[in-house]
Structure 1
Amino acid sequence: MGQVGRRGFLRGVGAAAVAAPLAGAGTASADIDVDVRLDLGLPRLPGLPRWLVGDHHVHTQYSNDAMYTIDQVVAGAQRHGAEWLVFSDHGHVAHEAHSVEPAHADIVAARRRHPHLLLWQGLEWNMPAAEHATVFLPPSRDEAALLREFERTFDSRLTGTGASTPANEAKALEALRWLARRGGLVVVNHPSRNGRIAPAELRNWHDAAPGVVIGMEGAPGAQGDGYPKPDGSGGHRGGYGNSPGGDSWPGFPAEAYRTFGGFDWMTATLGGMWDALLAEGRNWWVTSNSDSHFNFRDTIVRQPEAPDLYDRAGKHLDPLPGGPVQTQPPYCDFYPGEFSRTVVGATDRGYRGVMDGLRAGRSFVSHGGLVQRLETHVFAEDRLSWPVGLGGRLRVRRGTDVTVVVLAQLAARPHSGGELPRLARLDLVHGAVTGPATDRQGFRAAEVAVARSYEPRFRAGRTVGFRHTFRNVRESFYVRARGTDGRRHAPGGIEPIADVRGAADPWQDLWCYANPVFVDVR
């Protein structure tokens, strides 16, 4: 396929068979195979993003409950292909008093040693009236001072604003407006773990700072917590083993406190909280991360130290390599990029590029290397424009035919669990955009369904995919793609099933999710 005009391109793609299976014939690469793009009329254009693997939720020895040096985290991340990291040590009295500047010096030194990596200094913020969120700002000469000011002023552990009260909720909104003036980003961490984040709070935060609060962890870290232990014990995958507490929102069902295929209930539930936010047309994206504190099967162990060392110094002693393989708690996390990946489409390989990509929703998440790439492209035949990708919005006239192409690049090598992941199915989820919620505490979206499922033929390192056309569209909608290794489903269906305490081997239940594409019908 040579040079093709836009009108010819759209005419040719629109005439292709609906839901026709695709199989790439090119070699494995770091991107979707070029020949498949061409076959679909999706050429490699100059403006296509560069896909970068990363993690926005990572802890070090500067957290009260973690141990790794920054160099140890960076080394592990490099082994597993991560290209950007946000160090998000916990907000804490000792952290604000002692840790911010020393951690910043370590990060700056790591940037010099690893100029090909993008390393942010962030914070796991104890949100007033809520739980946790990752906060990070564009790197600058003032980044440590700004981070320390934010922690001192707005972290609930330092300000005594943790209780769910109207005054503390207002404090959280004040913090978000502070971040908006400084170009910061916020991702809500493990949103359902303790039931402390009510649906109305998610909406309030997004309304107050839509360019700051970009979404939530679709899947938490600590994915090894439910792994069967040699002694027969075991926890809950993601650390989701809690029950409602005094500050939990009472409207959540019991299943909200568990993971499904390793993903948070808000994300994994078809027609659930994530879909309810998307049904309003909100730019609400999902991520995935390691939440690295102590990594499963590691041989790095903490040194004995005085019980009050962290409170006095804001830092634990450097841990030592060469110990026995650790599989018991608290060793239940993975290194960045090892199991959980957030893959961002950046228009440039820099700090601004990644932050802009996250803010725009040009990202997908994958567990266990199930897919290397997951892309969704949406286009209409009556528009003289190129397809719209992840996080984008396509505007069409009522009555238009809208075509969706979903592409996945399969795994080319075994994951660190020892197997070559096999993508068993891709689903295209379709939901109606119905406008602002009449119930701010609502967490269900009625008009959501799987529009198409596709079972690819496995071809290591190759691209597979399908297309689906929505005929004569009348109302606005969104689409999002997900995939699975097909090992665990709800009985008689295709939905993810709740993880079982002490019997949740994360490598045996892999999923991937792409952020949505909206179609605005006028």
Structure 2
Amino acid sequence: MPFDPRPEQPAPTGGAPSVTEEQRGASARSGLSRRSFLGASVAATVAVGATAQGLGSAASAQAAPLPSASAVVAPDAISWLVFDHHVHSVYSHDAKYPMTTILDQAQRFAVDAIAFTEHSNKGHANVGGVFNAAREIDTARAARPDMLVLQGLEWYIPGAEHATVLIAPGPQTTLVLRRFELDHDGKLNGWEKPRPGTEDAAEWLVHATDGIAWLGAQKRAGVIDDVIVLANHPSRLGIDSPGELRAWQDADPEVFVGMEGAPGAQAGAIAANATERSRRGEYENTASEFSFPGYPAEAYLTHGGFDWTTAVVGGMWDSLLSEGRRWWITTNSDLHLKESDATRVGDFPTGPGWEAGATLANFNRAGRRPDPIATDTPQNGADFWPGEFSRTHVGAVDRSSASLLDAIRAGRVWVDHGHLVAGLSVVLRATDQPETGVTLGGTLTVASGTALELVVDVTPTTTPTSRGTTPRLAHLDLIRGRVTGPVADRDEQRAPGTRVVEMLDVTDRSDSPFRVVVPLEPAAEDGYVRLRGSDGQVHGVGPLGAEIDSRAPQPYPVSPADPWADTWLYTNPIFISVT
């Protein structure tokens, strides 16, 4: 059947039908007008203290806002769901696959939940793409009741990189996504890549915080049930400054909850079109005039496949955690084009008004790409299927989208590459009170001097991956940090009190489930603990020295092009509050 570029629903005229009125009404009911959003964002930006060196070197220290406390969840009440929150289909201008193909592959790799986060574009917002995608998602939910399927958006953050926007399913989800895309997207509104320290940089940060605040207002007004935002591939271009990361969360910590700890495109260096410049995650850049000047050269490379912000112990992520921020990490496929897949992009119509090839203009006219066409030749592509290599494990209390998003906000998340382990449970508890245990994202409150222990249960992977090999976990590293409060410099990238405090060799324990109990020094101050592990094939001294991390993941070329030859796992932290 030839490709029909006509959308099933005509592009809405003016605002999306009733969405402008509904959402303005909701804002009014909550006492928040668009002007008050802007005012609040300006205030937040002033608090950041924008300066020529990156939004805050002279800012006074202010306590980081925290999300409201989640209900305490017993570790044994959790079910771990594999979630890929960053996936593109034919409704993105640079992707290739129909949703049905992607969902089939996701089920093949035991994915429990998936979000289609199409790129912002005129064809997506104005030619019916967002609405037709929603129809297909509704159909998928009915056909696959065991899989949670969400509609989201890959937001071009004004003045910065991309972000995942996830909204809980509901009657207003698609309308809110479209309104947000039109009003707050950096690409559609021309707010992209300002030079640091310019008026544009300060103004576009306001647009970004305004957008985050607007999403939170929609939730509080009852227009949508829930929404979260995560920064995507934060170090790829070096244009997400530390001050911006902090400002985005400060705009609404209930909404902006963290970042991709590892990008998608993990097959970038083994793709059919790979060159000497190709890298895991497609982190192939160097600093530009738009980059934050304080980032080192190694920030532009993945380290064991993970973003520099996450991989450096005592670095950017720990700097955020040491403020007491509930800042969580995830990973995902960022599926666009499967590596070595032999289908090519489908053909757009020809004739008046159509360009030759798979151009953005053609996409914006059609609202989607045509279905792919089979060939006998491996095509270009840097991605794995959802769940094939990168996995985010979310500790939900039930199998629902509401529980899924709530668990991410609560930090009940661990991530792995290459199916390094099949299962992981981490509980921090007082040694003499085992019933007090809390799991990832939680806070254990104890008296000063209380003896602590970390209980880690590992279920090894015992079946081959799509590569045909069976992974083996070689070690677990315990990382401990201090919570010292807000930073004086909003562009701070270091957490001097964080280091690897225990390295556990588990090579000979990867044949059957096992438990490790790690005694910790008695609690003396507020802090946190988190875990890291790997297959042990590649490691070395970390950027901040052996006394901080002597077994750190390494950047390319020490880390090989083949992602299966260097795999890691990370947990989110458990916090310690000392009374």
Q: TM-score, normalised by structure 2?
A: 0.79
Displacement after TM superposition at 1:377 (Å): 0.6
Give the aligned partner of residue 179 of structure 1.
215
CA spacing shift, 1:333–1:364, aligned 2, 3 Å:
same
Query: Which of 24, 36, 55 is 2:84 aligned to?
Result: 55
Question: Superposition pairs for residues 51-450 of structure 1, below 5 Å?
Answer: 51-98=80-127, 99-164=129-194, 165-181=201-217, 182=219, 183-227=226-270, 233=276, 235-305=278-348, 306-307=356-357, 308-321=361-374, 323-324=375-376, 326=378, 329=380, 331-381=381-431, 385-450=435-500
Q: Is the 8 A contact 2:426 2:455 kept in 1?
A: yes
Displacement after TM superposition at 1:458 (Å): 4.0
Distance 1:48 1:185 in 2: 23
Question: Given the alignment of the two structures, is residue 456 of structure 1 paired with residue 503 of structure 2, yes or no?
Answer: no
Q: Is the 8 A contact 2:88 2:334 kept in 1?
A: yes
Distance 1:408 1:381 in 2: 20
Q: Which amino acid aligns with 1:121?
A: Q
Query: Which of 555, 560, 564 is 1:507 aligned to?
Result: 564
CA spacing shift, 1:212–1:250, aligned 2, 3 Å:
same
Give the aligned partner of residue 486 of structure 1.
536
Distance 2:406 2:338 in 1: 30
Displacement after TM superposition at 1:233 (Å): 4.5
Q: Is the 8 A contact 2:75 2:427 kept in 1?
A: no
Runs of 4+ in 1 over 6 A off after TM superposition: none
Q: Deviations over 1:149-196 (max 9, x none)?
A: 110110111112224321110111111111112231101000000001
Question: Given the alignment of the two structures, is residue 472 of structure 1 paired with residue 501 of structure 2, yes or no?
Answer: no
Q: Is the 8 A contact 2:266 2:383 kept in 1?
A: yes
Moved more, 505-514 or 379-388: 379-388
Aligned Cα RMSD in Å? Answer: 2.0
Distance 1:495 1:389 in 2: 24
Q: Which amino acid aligns with 1:245?
A: S
Q: Is the 8 A contact 2:527 2:575 kept in 1?
A: yes
Moved more, 305-314 or 233-242: 305-314
Q: Is the 8 A contact 2:426 2:439 kept in 1?
A: yes
SS in 2 for 1:89: strand
Query: Can you give the 5+ residue segments of structure 2 that lack an aligned partner in the other structure?
Result: 1-72, 195-200, 220-225, 349-355
Distance 1:152 1:299 in 2: 35
Q: Is the 8 A contact 2:475 2:507 kept in 1?
A: no
Q: Count residues with an aligned counterpart.
A: 476
Moved more, 399-408 or 376-385: 376-385
SS in 1 for 2:165: strand
Distance 1:484 1:502 in 2: 13
Displacement after TM superposition at 1:301 (Å): 2.6
Q: Which amino acid aligns with 1:61?
A: V
SS in 2 for 1:462: coil
Moved more, 397-406 or 461-470: 461-470
Distance 1:333 1:384 in 2: 43
Moved more, 60-69 or 301-310: 301-310
Distance 1:481 1:45 in 2: 20
Q: Is the 8 A contact 1:344 1:364 kept in 2?
A: yes
Query: Can you give the 5+ residue segments of structure 1 that lack an aligned partner in the other structure?
Result: 1-43
Q: Deviations over 1:295-334 (max 9, x none)?
A: 113233322334342121121101134x3362x63x1100
Displacement after TM superposition at 1:232 (Å): 6.6
Q: Which amino acid aligns with 2:454?
A: V
Q: Is the 8 A contact 1:235 1:502 kept in 2?
A: no
Q: TM-score, normalised by structure 1?
A: 0.87
Matched-pair identity in %: 42
